[in-house]
Structure 1
Amino acid sequence: MNLFKQYASYAFGAFGHDAFYATLSTYFPIFVTSVLFTGHANSAQMIGAVSAMLVVIRLVEIAFDPMIGGVVDNTRTRWGKFKPWLLGGGLVSSITLMIIFTSIGGLADHNDMLYLIIFGIVFVILDIFYSFKDISLWSMLPALSVDSKTRTKFGTVARFGSTLGAQGVIIVVMPLVYFFSQKFSGTTGQTQTRAGWLGFAAVIAIVSFLGALTAAFGTKEQKNLIRENTEKTRLRDVFKAIGENDQLMWLALSYFLFAFGYVITNSLLLYYFRYVIGKPAAYSMVGVITAILGIISVVLFPFMVSLIKRRGVYVGGIALMVVGYLIFLLAGTNVTMVLVGVAFYFFPYPMIFLAALMTITDSVEYGQWKNGTRNESVTLAVRPLIDKLAGAFANGVVMLAALQSGMTGNAKPSDISASGLLQFKMFIFYIPIILIILAAIVYFGKIKLSEKRHAEIVEDLEKKLEAEKAAGQKIGD
């Protein structure tokens, strides 16, 4: 299959996938705190209940992600092991995304307990099928090539697509919400309604499923001696494969700290523009800036890796993000300075993500070399597991920050007290700064799986497997 077609298909799959993730992790909490329970007699309690459920469900469900990776690894069909889960997961998660952006037949207004029960069931289904799609999409990476340079190209174009998807949502979210609010609820101006948010969610759901279709039918798994050296993954081997891969475990810790801090700030930015600055419409500029910078960042990634290697990209990128946070702290309500802070804060993010993703991908061969078995989906399941874990905690932090700071419903900037603003800054700035600095320290001190070391491991594996194959043929003769 033509490589350009595969690159484009994989990129569009990542585009729809990250648009979905941004909607779920960043904008669903905003829908809950700003619109869903507006006018509800027990709005604070219901927001708190939904927040707690999101955290608990995701914490419980992520324990199953490595097992989902094992199921994908054990899948054998004429279409390969990834495509059936991409399509099935994409369809079900898209449908359930639209459901959670509703009051579930009015239950959110009239029957709190029944709403919470049905919401919990729907969200569990969403999370499970999203996990199958997420793990299938990203664990395709080591199956598309065992060569680090080719993987970097696939990873780069995928991150190009995912960056446009995630940052594109920032650009369209409020215009779409306003448009559908006016279309279906007859509102004017910048009034938000449930119907407006549902219309936005429906657009994202459709884009996400079309991305899954494109990735499924536009890519091809590579067949070679290293990939053929696989065995059926037993349940007891799933966590063993992860736990015995020390480089994967250290990367997991570092990336969790980084992702947790990043998602908190990213999720609270709309609150900053709405409740601190008082200009929610200006938030769309964040999407424009980050989309442009994201493209530049992704394009520069191969060059930066060749220049300073993955370690330099990861640690140096975090240093640049800290500069962005310092600008945030000095900006106050100055929109221009806030946007400058956004630029410094976001620009290195796609490169840091790619550095982490490439390290995880290379740890597939590292684990195979160290432990004698190859586990593609189980290993790559760690990255979405961490993203969901970080997202679960971040969702809880975001809703807590909104409640503690008084940034719920139709509150205005003038309604936010000095203490509320101070608490909000602690959540959006101070805690994330500490988290990402710790992430840099862990990566710098513990990750030894460099590009050079991975190439040596692949060469060693090929020689070993070719020798074993030759010895088997001699015995057969």
Structure 2
Amino acid sequence: MTEPAAVGSVADIVLPPRSGPYRRNAWGFGLGTLGRDMAATMVSMFLLVYLTEVVQVSNAVLAAITVVLVVMRLFDAVNDPVMGLVVDNTRTRWGKFKPWIAGGALAWAAATVVMFSDWGVEGPLFVVVFVIVYLLWEVAYTVNDISYYGMLPSLSRNQIERERIGVVARVCANIGIFGFVIGLVPITSALEDLLSSAQSAWLALAVAVAVILLVFQTITLVTTKEQIAGERVHTPLRELFSVIARNDQLLWVTLAMVLFMTGYTVTTSLGLYYFTYIYGDVGMYPVFAAILGVSQIGGLLLFPLASAKLGRRRVHLLATVSCAVGYVVFLFAGTSMLFIGIAGVLLFAGQAFIQLLMMMFIADSVEYGQWKLGRRNESVTFSLQPFIYKAASALASGAIGVTLILSGINDAESAADVTDAGVLAFKIAMMVVPLVLVVVSWLILARRYRLDETRYAQIVADLRQRESAQEVRDGES
């Protein structure tokens, strides 16, 4: 494999310089994230907003739904490796990833529309219907997500190429995420005026998101092509958890990132509540979201430059410090939008680095697992990425539900209805707890993760020697 040129500029990252399969894979895979991350964001960040502000569920129903979200997301997260095993054992003329990507996308789009439809029920029956619809949504999401990100390690084995593909993917994902976040309030307000119903406005938005999801997933299906086929070895179900448990580097990444993403999800999910009930001006939320979006995308574009000059370990430390300082500034910012904006830049630029590092750490664990166990399991390995997001989302959902109830925000009509004690409880949940989780996450990876650039290069070289030797043996037989 020809080595790519060294990273030299932001332009090189935005438009990968190589032609052929690498460039097609970078854009084809990256663009596929745009619509799917919109759909994921609509539910992961704003489902509770929809339920409390539009449907206006009672505290009793909110408490029941909170328990449901925690249990179902944890249960679904544990099942992700099983889906990874199914994908890894799939053999079709279209490869093992694309059939599941396509089927998952179709079901996911449909479930998203149903999620924000008017079910016409209340009380306990509402909770029952919610369980059914949410389960369908989670299953569809799992099928698509496991197969989609499982494909990433097969697109290239080169770390620099993977970083660039990852950057394009995360930039497109963040355009989808923050495009949705920024547009949520003005778009739903405009649709509500047009349709005379807040619920109809959210349903119309869900339909639009579902269409965008399908369009961009189609781009991925048409343009991407696997470059690393891997061994045609069947992995039996009885060996599934052994494949994960014996990959110690993957386990340390998973633990550290569950902690980090739990804190991050709590912060982002409480954002709209913060500007509505703490800051007192919901109109500033789209402005804040725009600042965060630009910060994240800027951080992603700068990542390969920073990684090339500093190495991943130093980049991880720098990003963690940036997040920690951002939380401290946010905590003491008061009503100053200037300091809130500074906190957002620090927090989300650092978070962009860490999320991309997480993707790269997991991708590199594929080769580590192949080197250590003699079997290449991309989807099983990458099933730990959605596991991270779902486990973090489950823990965060519990924290968010408890925070909204204990702070009094679920019963509040405006910022004036929230007591000082409620404000303090809210800020501790949104800023202090995530700060602690960020620091603990860094400590785990700093002490336990060993796949730096040098070690990874040694593993890949050894794998290539094994593959060459196997080709010789196959030729002689």
TM-score normalized with structure 1 length: 0.93
CA distance in 2, matches of 1:7, 1:340: 32
Percent identity at matched positions? 34
Give yes or no for contact 2:368–2:459 (8 Å, CA) kept in 1: yes
Cα deviation for residue 203 of structure 1 reads: 2.1
Deviates more, 1:393-402 or 1:353-362: 393-402
* Deviation (angstroms), 1:37: 2.3
Query: What is the DSSP-based 3-state SS (H/G/I as helix, E as strand, rest coil) of the residue aligned with 1:401?
Result: helix
Per-residue deviation, residues 220-261 of structure 1 (Å, max 9, x unmatched): 1114xxx43241121112111110000000011111111011
Give the unaligned 5+ runs of structure 1: 187-192
Asked if 2 retains the 8 angstrom alpha-carbon contact of 1:93 and 1:126, the reply is yes
Write the distance in 2 (CA, Å) between the matches of 1:217 and 1:278. 47
Question: Do structure 1's residue 305 and structure 2's residue 307 form an aligned pair?
Answer: yes
The 5 A counterparts of 1:25-424 are: 25-37=44-56, 43-104=58-119, 106-108=120-122, 112-185=123-196, 193-223=198-228, 227-408=229-410, 411-424=413-426
Partner Cα distance (1:97, 1:205) in 2: 7
Confirm or deny: 8 A CA contact 1:262 1:432 kept in the other structure.
Answer: yes
Q: Distance in 2 between matches of 1:473 and 1:219?
A: 30
The separation in 2 between residues aligned to 1:121 and 1:246, in whole angstroms, is 36
- Is the CA contact (8 Å cut-off) linking 1:368 and 1:374 kept in structure 2? yes
Cα deviation 1:297-341 (Å, max 9, x = unaligned): 111111111112112222220111111111111111222221221
Instruction: Give the whole-Å Cα distance in 1 for the aligned partners of 2:156 and 2:432.
Output: 41
Deviation of 1:216 (Å):
1.3
For residues 127 and 269 of structure 1, what CA distance do their matches in structure 2 show? 23
Contact kept, 8 Å, 2:73 with 2:391, in 1: the verdict is yes
- Aligned-partner Cα distance in 1 for 2:45–2:295: 20
CA distance, structure 2, for counterparts of residue 308 and residue 230 of structure 1: 38
Q: Distance in 2 between matches of 1:320 and 1:299?
A: 16
Aligned residues: 458
Q: Is the 8 A contact 2:35 2:209 kept in 1?
A: yes
Could you say if the C-alpha distance between residues 46 and 103 of structure 1 is closer, same or farther in structure 2, counting changes exceeding 3 Å?
farther
AA in 1 matched with 2:210: A
Which runs of structure 1 show a deviation greater than 4 angstroms over 4 or more consecutive aligned residues?
Answer: none
User: For the aligned residues, what is the CA RMSD?
Assistant: 1.5
CA distance in 2, matches of 1:198, 1:334: 35
- Worse overlay, 113-122 or 146-155: 113-122
Counterpart CA distance in 1 for 2:463 and 2:75 is 36
Contact 1:331 1:337 in 2 (8 A): yes
Deviation at 1:409? 5.7
- Name the aligned partner's letter for residue 142 of structure 1: P
Letter in 1 for 2:111: T
> In 2, Cα distance between the equivalents of 1:170 and 1:471?
55
Distance 1:371 1:163 in 2: 35
Q: Please report how far the alpha carbon of residue 408 of structure 1 lies from its aligned counterpart in structure 2 after TM superposition.
A: 2.2
Cα distance in 2 between the residues matched to 1:289 and 1:82: 35
Q: Deviations over 1:248-282 (max 9, x none)?
A: 00011111111011110111111110001111111
Shift in Å, 1:473: 2.8
**What are the superposed Cα offsets for residues 350-394 of structure 1, whole Å, 9 maximum, x if unpaired?**
211111111110110100101111100000110111101101111
Q: Please tell me the residue identity of whatever aligns with 1:121.
A: I
| 1:347 counterpart SS class | helix
- CA shift at 1:202, angstroms? 2.1
- Contact 1:33-1:399 within 8 A present in 2 as well: no
Q: Deviations over 1:186-228 (max 9, x none)?
A: 6xxxxxx2222222222222222222111111211114xxx43
Q: Distance in 1 between matches of 2:232 and 2:257?
A: 27
Pairing partner for 1:7 from 26, 30, 33: 26
Amino acid across the alignment from 2:53: S
Q: Measure, in 1, the Cα distance between the counterparts of 2:288 and 2:29.
A: 26
| Secondary structure of 1:278's aligned partner | coil
Are the equivalent residues in 1 in contact too, given 2:22–2:155 (CA < 8 A)?
no
In 2, are the aligned partners of 1:164 and 1:294 still within 8 Å (CA)? no
The residue type equivalent to 1:14 in the other structure is: T
Question: 1: distance between equivalents of 2:96 and 2:24?
Answer: 20
C-alpha contact 2:76 2:390 (8 A) present in aligned 1 = no
